[in-house]
Amino acid sequence: MRDEKYDMKKISAGQAHPSSLWAATATPPSATPPLCESRTADVVIIGGGFTGLSTALHLAEAGASVCVLEASEPGWGASGRNGGQVIPGLKYDPDELNLKFGHKKGELLIDTIGKAADTVFNLIDKYHIECDATRNGWIQPAHSDNVMRSLVKRAAQWAERGAPVEVLDRASVAQRIGTTAYVGGWIDHRAGSIQPLSYCRGLMRAAQAHGAAIHGNTLATNLERQGRHWHVTTAGGARVTAEHVMIATNGYTGDLWPKLEQSVIAANSFIVATKPLPAQLSDSILHGGEVVSDARRLLLYYRRDAHGRLLMGGRGPFADPHGSQDFSHLERSLALLFPQLAGMIDYEFRWAGRVAITRDFLPHVHEPIAGLTIALGYNGRGIAMASTMGRCLAQRLLSSGNADFPFQISTIQPIPFHGLQRFYIAAGVAYYCILDKFS
């Protein structure tokens, strides 16, 4: 796969197209022309990220007529701007999900989320998507003995359900990751990594090959229901008429449907990528190709890419970045974790994308009116979970509300004082910093 170069001055100044921030190793997009003429479809999907494209692909595979409307281009949002980690599961451990939803519903959800990474890699294999896919596992290391005890319980709960997991001691974590900053951890062999924008574009091409119409630079501005049909009006004036509408805009949700934008916090996830590591250090840092996200509440996540770069991600300011100084906290974290890199690396890319955080840290599925489905809120697990959500939503639409749908259907609940979300994030960061220090 080619490794294109971009003008980094433009990128760091925020002048380049946002998805170019990590498009350097992504396969180029197929044509997604704007919608210029009104048309009809069985389902119209608003949002061209993982959720929308996975749903479109699975619907089109079954013969449904699908039209996807994306305000920019497919993968423009966080689907194309994330760390590329494909991790199964949610923030909750399996036993916690059983307490929340009861054993039957809980185990159905646990089985679904436990196989979420399978969804991604099966699609990659089926459609021969070139996206630097690797499946060498996910390590979650612990920074304290107290946290380590909780990780041992987490691993045990997944092992009881047949997941290929292992508990790792301090020495094993240090040997696998290349840092002595942790006391131990666990590894989930179901996980892996991808180049996310290439994967997103691969889903798009597969959906198009099955007949789905995908229109970039087509902003949906209005929804109106008349009888059994919905009319979706776009900024250019063209309309799509369909029996069903799905909104899949996640961290970039606007005011298309009342109170939806206020139901999530759109937090920035910031990422930096070094230049390829020097040969003398390459074998000592994540030499096995695992991905890592630690067990802090304000977690750090990192991996090596196909070109030998080291990627480091974490939370950042609420505002979108404007220059390299907005990423300095990640570069300091990387230096603390890997002091052996001091003076030996430069940074090649910096980018950010907005993740949708829900109050209960669970994905939300809403059906506020007949013929309308909304799905959003993956809380940082979007690659595996959104791909899986798309598959499950397609099955639900095709079966007119199948009983085996694993996710709870909920009402839209605005977060109080949502206009102060930048202060929510700042307060949450401060609070979690304190909790992490005392854990």
The end-to-end CA distance of the chain, in Å, is: 43
- Per residue in 323-370, pLDDT (tens digit) is 898 899 899 999 999 999 998 899 999 999 999 999 999 999 999 999
Whether 395 contacts 402, CB under 8 Å: yes
Tokens of 382: 């979007």
Structure confidence at residue 375 (pLDDT): 98
For all residues of the chain together, what is the average pLDDT?
89
Question: What is the residue-wise DSSP string for 202-239?
Answer: HHHHHHHHTT-EEESS--EEEEEEETTEEEEEETTS-E
CA distance 304 to 327: 18
Q: Beta 165-169 vs 184-188: how paired, if at all?
A: antiparallel
**Looking at domain 8-132+190-268+316-324+351-423, which CATH architecture does it have?**
3-Layer(bba) Sandwich (3.50)
CA distance 426 to 180: 29
Whether 114 contacts 161, CB under 8 Å: yes
Helix (H) / strand (E) containing 398: helix 382-398
- Per residue in 223-278, pLDDT (tens digit) is 999 999 999 999 999 999 999 999 999 999 999 999 999 999 898 899 999 999 99
CA within 13 Å, CB half, 275: 10
Structure confidence at residue 26 as a pLDDT band (50, 70, 90): low
User: Residue 105 — φ and ψ, nearest 5°?
Assistant: -65, -40
- Per residue in 27-62, pLDDT (tens digit) is 656 579 999 999 999 999 999 999 999 999 999 999
DSSP assignment, residue 246?
Answer: E
Structure confidence at residue 417 as a pLDDT band (50, 70, 90): low
- What residues does each domain of the chain span? 8-132+190-268+316-324+351-423
Whether 15 contacts 323, CB under 8 Å: no
CA distance 33 to 19: 17
- Helix, strand, coil shares of the chain, percent, nearest 5, are 35, 25, 40
Length of the chain as a residue count: 439
Q: CA 384, 389, 395 angle in degrees (round to 5)? A: 135
User: Residue 209 — φ and ψ, nearest 5°?
Assistant: -65, -25
Structure confidence at residue 322 (pLDDT): 84
CA within 13 Å, CB half, 289: 13
Cα–Cα nearest to 204, from 394, 387, 1: 387
